[in-house]
């Protein structure tokens, strides 16, 4: 039992590590690919379509080789999930285009309380005071180190609301579908990735044209850009798998809270690799966020122990009601008759 707990804890850490490393890696690769000083590939939605196409291909090969089993999930559920997920991607891109970076970061931070409220509405889930306190500390910390100028307009606000609601719903749905159909994280991703890939590759170029004013067909592809596109797609497979894995193992709220470790890593690596400015305000915000994540981990563990103790101390029923005693007596009276009947028929 103790060994099982240790192996489960190791796999949990592995899932989080894979998500953080792949997410930070893909951000760094995309920065080099899309940055005007890099390869100026400004087609984010189409690139996401490439990501899901490669993920779908990996899932197809895995199923064909027998490494993963395919379980039935109704097509309408997969289509609904894919629509919500694509709205999340498109909404985020439009939100970044129409709003200031500061408001974009605030909208991303608002996902944590939105996920909490949605889980409460949809699944009647409640959170302890310690968990709520930890969430507030993380939001404040990440807000201090990322939010700068805040400018809002009507169109940008609507896009941000759509992005936040659809992203929150998508992340809650990942866990719900896995539990509902007893399907693994990779198996679910293998079913949703092809639908997302096809839809994003069809509509993505038009979304990118609206965002950047350029069609992807006009882009001059170089070997360097091709290398970073392939690197981005490879990292996206690990990023997508680890996202489904983490949400399936934990919850959408935990994924959001501990996921802000990626923000801290990105800011630090940006300072090391790209000479980005790192002020005292950034450092203080990152430290506050890390403290909040530690408090959150402690609060979740405390909540688990409290739930386990509550189950262990449930009152055990030692006395029988009059109705149960009557039913037992009737059972005793009827039992001998049942035993006699077969012997009579044999005779």
Which of the four pLDDT bands, split at 50, 70 and 90, describes residue 342?
Answer: very low
pLDDT at 11 over 80: no
Mean pLDDT of the chain: 79
Q: Rounded to an integer, what distance in angstroms lies between the CA atom of residue 252 and that of residue 112?
A: 9
Q: Which of 108-117, 312-321, 322-331 has the highest mean predicted lDDT (pLDDT)?
A: 108-117
> For 3-7, 38-42, 182-186, 268-272, which range has the lowest pLDDT when averaged over its residues?
3-7
Q: What mean pLDDT do residues 247-275 have?
A: 73
Please name which of 217, 215, 170, 165 lies closest in space to residue 196, comparing C-alpha atoms.
170
The pLDDT, as a whole number, for residue 117 is: 85
Please name which of 154, 109, 168, 99 lies closest in space to residue 135, comparing C-alpha atoms.
109
More confident residue, 151 or 235: 235
Which of the four pLDDT bands, split at 50, 70 and 90, describes residue 340?
Answer: very low
Which of the four pLDDT bands, split at 50, 70 and 90, describes residue 341?
Answer: very low
Distances from the Cα of 228 to the Cα of 39, 47, 83, angstroms: 9, 11, 28
pLDDT at 317 over 60: no
pLDDT at 339 over 50: no
Q: What mean pLDDT do residues 112-126 have?
A: 84
pLDDT at 338 over 50: no
Q: What mean pLDDT do residues 3-20 have?
A: 73
pLDDT in tens, 159-187: 888 988 998 898 888 888 888 888 888 88
Give the predicted TM-score (pTM) of the model. 0.73
> For 64-68, 85-89, 168-172, which range has the lowest pLDDT when averaged over its residues?
64-68
pLDDT at 229 over 80: yes
Which of the four pLDDT bands, split at 50, 70 and 90, describes residue 193?
Answer: very high
Q: Rounded to an integer, what distance in angstroms lies between the CA atom of residue 146 and that of residue 18?
A: 24
- For residue 230, give the 3-state DSSP assignment: helix
Q: What mean pLDDT do residues 194-205 have?
A: 94
The pLDDT, as a whole number, for residue 274 is: 64
The pLDDT, as a whole number, for residue 15 is: 79
Q: What mean pLDDT do residues 222-246 have?
A: 90
> For 30-39, 123-132, 263-272, which range has the lowest pLDDT when averaged over its residues?
263-272
Cβ-contact 171, 63 below 8 angstroms: no
The pLDDT, as a whole number, for residue 109 is: 77
The pLDDT, as a whole number, for residue 201 is: 95
Cβ-contact 127, 178 below 8 angstroms: no
More confident residue, 343 or 331: 331
């Amino acid at each position: 039992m103790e060994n099982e707990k240790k192996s489960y804890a190791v796999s949990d850490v592995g899932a989080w590590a894979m998500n953080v490393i792949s997410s930070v890696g893909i951000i760094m690769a995309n920065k080099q690919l899309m940055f005007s000083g890099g390869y100026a590939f400004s087609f984010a939605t189409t690139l996401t379509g490439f990501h899901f196409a490669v993920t779908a291909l990996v899932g197809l090969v895995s199923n064909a080789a027998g490494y993963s089993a395919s379980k039935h999930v109704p097509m309408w559920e997969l289509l609904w999930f894919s629509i919500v997920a694509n709205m999340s991607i498109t909404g985020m891109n439009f939100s970044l285009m129409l709003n200031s970076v500061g408001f974009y970061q605030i909208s991303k931070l608002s996902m944590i309380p939105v996920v909490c409220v949605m889980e409460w509405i949809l699944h009647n889930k409640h959170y302890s005071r310690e968990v709520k306190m930890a969430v507030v500390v993380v939001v404040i910390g990440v807000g201090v180190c990322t939010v700068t100028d805040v400018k809002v307009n009507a169109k940008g606000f609507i896009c941000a609301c759509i992005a936040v609601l659809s992203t929150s719903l998508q992340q809650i749905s990942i866990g719900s579908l896995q539990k509902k159909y007893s399907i693994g994280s990779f198996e679910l991703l293998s079913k949703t990735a092809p639908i997302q890939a096809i839809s994003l590759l069809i509509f993505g170029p038009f979304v990118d044209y609206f965002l950047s004013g350029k069609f992807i067909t006009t882009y001059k592809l170089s070997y360097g850009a091709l290398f970073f596109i392939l690197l981005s797609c490879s990292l996206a497979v690990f990023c997508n798998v680890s996202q489904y894995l983490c949400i399936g193992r934990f919850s959408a709220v935990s994924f959001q809270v501990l996921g802000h470790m990626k923000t801290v890593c990105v800011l630090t690596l940006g300072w090391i690799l790209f000479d980005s400015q790192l002020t005292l305000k950034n450092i203080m915000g990152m430290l506050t966020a890390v403290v909040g994540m530690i408090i959150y981990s402690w609060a979740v563990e405390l909540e688990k122990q409290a739930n386990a103790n509550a189950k262990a101390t449930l009152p055990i029923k030692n006395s029988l009601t009059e109705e149960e005693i009557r039913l037992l007596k009737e059972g005793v009276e009827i039992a001998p008759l049942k035993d006699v009947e077969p012997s009579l028929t044999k005779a």
